[in-house]
């Protein structure tokens, strides 16, 4: 077995590979850029090598620097993780020429399957069903428009070297192609160093289902069943699960057999994924093959009991697979939620910054479910604008799908992050949503269920009880402290009757108890009981059990009360005396500021182009500027007709979130 492996990646996947190498007794080398100098992966590795500035094009994508780091440290093999050089056939061949083992498929397999254009040509020759489209390079926007109109809208514009949701757009019209083609080409060049583009028919209401394959250097290939990855936003996977709620056993076997046949045809000898677009009728078409480890590999590990990183290492060393297809079985159900640094309340825009607080749920077995959290960050780390904004991958396993979903909901409750926007409330909303729980999924799910963006959810009756009880309990603790200070530490009787406002809902309550607390709902004839309370003033997370059912909320003080969030339901909770409650109803609502004449930067990023000038007449929907953040280009459009009064930024300028870019007269 290898004695030392270099990990040519960063963040969560670098940490993931280190953990397996430690278990196998293999020393690790981590390369790092300026931005990652203080990262968890650098801290955990046995050796580290600095490889350059923060932009990936000057560090993680520079093959010469990776090879030099191998030579410097004596590493025998390179694990590329995902992204960066992981699907670069030239790099895999370079490793072979240098006598370094590439822990991934052979260069021939990468060439045949890793390139999206070539993979479709190969699949067609192999008799694999493919999505209709133009299989070949496209020279410019005019040709892209011509091809799109021949195929028929909607079409998907994709980078040939793409992956991870980068370099991809759905175009529903000629205008979408004219705007989307150059944007995809720019993203592809920046992310992969390859700006070749192809176009294929976009199948409406599809599902994204992929088959995990695993091969060795002795001609053996098996599949490790499927993953459902249909919950996507901007073609970026958000929630994955294994197995798929769509497939029956016959369809599963058919997809698996096709994936294995394709892998065997290219002598595939590592972990890889054959992706399919599936119809609701269980029909399926080959989409592409990712010749690397997938971000969502943990859900497959959880239902099979296999360590895919270990299997990749063993295959690269030359070992035969220790099992056959008949030995593999699906055990239970697993869900993965990608925790992203993005603000779901602002159309999921990237939110870079420091993790002021990072407190994930504890891993391991819980009451009926198991938690796993794959992360490459710690409290105090910074989420950089140079790389993908994923913070961690939270996974749960349980014997059944609904139990795994319920476990994920509880795990998301227990996940606390401060300092930047994050999508935990949105993920929690999905776990509670009826359509998701039913398994009736499609890649349009987020657009279908949240057409106006995400604004949280209204509290259910059960959540209204939680928010009421927590607010009353917190107020009781603060009031007890105030009485102690005011009376010189002489005990005095606490006030027990209050009025609790949860948003606009008003409830009269009577509170009693010190350790366990009861909250009598005076107008409803019932009593709530809080037990196992884990909270103190200043702690942002309140844990307890309400009438015997455990829960966690995020709670912080606010004017006259608290801001409390349970899953996706967030409310301002006021706990007032009856007299204060009476006066509160007479206070006027604060009016929001008028920003209708301003175009604000929705995220921190870099201005790629400013497309308007002072004095210009602009129509609603026209492009105002293009911003780049997290390697993605974002088109900012005018939300109203008007004349530009002032332009406050130009191409190349860095801008902050909410910075005024353009003012209208």
Catalytic positions, written as ranges: 288
Whether the Cβ atoms of residue 11 and residue 387 lie closer than 8 Å to each other: yes
Contact indicator for 662, 640 with CB cutoff of 8 Å: no
Distance of CA 415 to the CA centre of its chain: 14
Exposed/middle/buried for residue 571 (C-beta within 10 Å: 0-12, 13-18, 19+): buried
The residue count for the chain: 665
Nearest to residue 280, comparing CAs of 203, 206, 202, 204? 206
Rounded distance between C-alpha atoms, residue 475 and residue 481, angstroms: 10
- Compute the Cα dihedral for 188, 190, 191, 192 and give only its sign: positive
**What phi and psi, each to the nearest 5 degrees, are found at residue 182?**
-65, -30
Distance CA 91, CA 478 (A): 61
Among residues 365, 364, 362, 354, which one has the least CA distance to residue 391?
A: 354
Angle value at C-alpha 134, between 129 and 136, nearest 5 degrees:
105
Helix (H, G, I), strand (E, B) or coil at 22: helix
Count Cβ atoms below 10 Å from residue 32 Cβ, excluding itself: 24
CB 573 within 8 A of CB 467: yes
Tell me the longest C-alpha to C-alpha distance in the chain: 87
Name 155's bridge partners. Answer: 171, 201
Instruction: Give CA angle at 659 (653, 662), nearest 5°.
Output: 80
| Residue 354 CB coordination number (10 Å) | 14
H-type helices in 337-486, by residue range?
401-413, 424-432, 434-438, 445-449, 461-486
DSSP string, 484-535: HHHTTS---PPP-EEEEEETTEEEEEEEE-SSSEEEEETTTTEEEEEEEEE-
Q: How are beta strands 390-398 and 333-340 bridged, if at all?
A: antiparallel
What sign has the CA pseudo-torsion 629, 158, 222, 278?
A: positive
Phi, psi of 491 (to 5 degrees): -60, 140
């Amino acid at each position: 077995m290898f004695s030392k492996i270099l990990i040519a990646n960063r963040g969560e996947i670098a940490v993931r590979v280190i953990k397996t190498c430690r278990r196998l007794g293999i020393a690790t080398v981590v390369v790092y850029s300026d931005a990652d100098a203080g990262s968890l992966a650098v801290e955990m590795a046995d050796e580290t090598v600095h490889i350059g500035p923060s932009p990936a094009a000057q560090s993680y994508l520079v093959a010469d620097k990776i090879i030099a780091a191998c030579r410097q440290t004596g590493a025998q093999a390179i694990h590329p993780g995902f992204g960066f050089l992981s699907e670069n056939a030239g790099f895999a061949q370079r490793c072979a020429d240098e006598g370094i083992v590439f822990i991934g498929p052979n260069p021939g397999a990468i060439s045949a399957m890793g390139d999206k254009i070539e993979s479709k040509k190969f699949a067609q020759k192999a008799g694999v069903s493919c999505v209709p489209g133009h299989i070949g390079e496209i020279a410019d926007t005019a040709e892209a428009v011509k091809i799109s109109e021949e195929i028929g809208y909607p079409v998907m514009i994709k980078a040939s070297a793409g992956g991870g949701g980068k370099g991809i757009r759905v175009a529903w019209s000629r205008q979408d192609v004219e705007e989307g083609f150059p944007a995809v080409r720019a993203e592809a060049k920046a992310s992969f160093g390859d700006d070749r583009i192809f176009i294929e028919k976009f199948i409406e209401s599809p599902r994204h289902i992929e088959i995990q394959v695993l091969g060795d250097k002795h001609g053996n290939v098996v599949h490790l069943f499927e993953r459902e990855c249909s919950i996507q936003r901007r073609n970026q996977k958000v929630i994955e699960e294994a197995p798929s709620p769509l497939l029956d056993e016959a369809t599963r076997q058919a997809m698996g057999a096709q994936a294995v046949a394709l892998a065997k045809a290219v002598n595939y000898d590592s972990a890889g994924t054959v992706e399919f677009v599936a119809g609701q009728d269980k029909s399926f078409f080959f989409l592409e093959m990712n010749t690397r480890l997938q971000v969502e590999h943990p859900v497959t590990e959880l239902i099979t009991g296999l360590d895919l990183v270990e299997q990749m290492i063993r295959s690269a060393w030359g070992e035969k697979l220790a099992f056959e297809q008949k030995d593999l079985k699906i055990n239970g159900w697993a869900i993965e939620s990608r925790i992203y640094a993005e603000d779901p309340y602002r159309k999921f825009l990237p939110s870079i910054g420091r993790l002021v607080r990072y407190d994930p749920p504890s891993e391991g077995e819980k009451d009926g479910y198991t938690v796993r959290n794959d992360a490459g960050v710690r409290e105090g780390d910074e989420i950089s604008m140079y790389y993908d904004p994923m913070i961690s991958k939270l996974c749960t396993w349980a014997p059944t799908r609904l139990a795994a979903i319920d476990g994920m909901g509880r795990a998301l409750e227990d996940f606390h992050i401060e300092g930047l926007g994050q999508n935990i409330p949105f993920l929690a909303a999905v776990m509670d949503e009826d359509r998701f729980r039913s398994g009736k999924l499609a890649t349009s799910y987020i657009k279908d269920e949240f057409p106006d963006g995400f604004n949280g959810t209204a509290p259910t009756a059960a959540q209204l009880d939680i928010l009421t009880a927590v607010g009353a309990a917190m107020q009781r603790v603060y009031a007890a402290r105030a009485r102690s200070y005011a009376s010189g530490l002489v005990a005095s009787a606490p006030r027990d009757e209050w009025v609790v406002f949860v948003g606009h809902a008003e409830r009269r309550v009577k509170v009693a108890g010190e350790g366990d607390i009861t909250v009598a709902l005076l107008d409803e004839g019932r009593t709530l009981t809080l037990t196992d309370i884990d909270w103190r003033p200043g702690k942002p997370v309140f844990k307890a059990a309400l009438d015997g059912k455990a829960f966690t909320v995020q709670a912080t003080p606010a004017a006259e009360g608290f801001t409390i969030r349970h899953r996706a339901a967030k409310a301002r909770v006021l706990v007032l005396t009856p007299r204060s409650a009476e006066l509160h109803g007479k206070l006027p609502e604060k009016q929001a500021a008028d920003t209708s004449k301003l175009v604000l930067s929705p995220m921190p990023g870099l201005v790629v182009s400013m497309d308007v000038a002072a004095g210009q007449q602009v129509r609603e929907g026209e492009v105002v500027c293009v911003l780049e953040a997290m390697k993605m280009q974002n088109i900012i459009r005018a939300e109203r007709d008007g004349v530009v009064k002032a332009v406050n930024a130009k191409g190349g300028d860095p801008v902050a979130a909410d910075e005024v870019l353009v003012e209208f007269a």
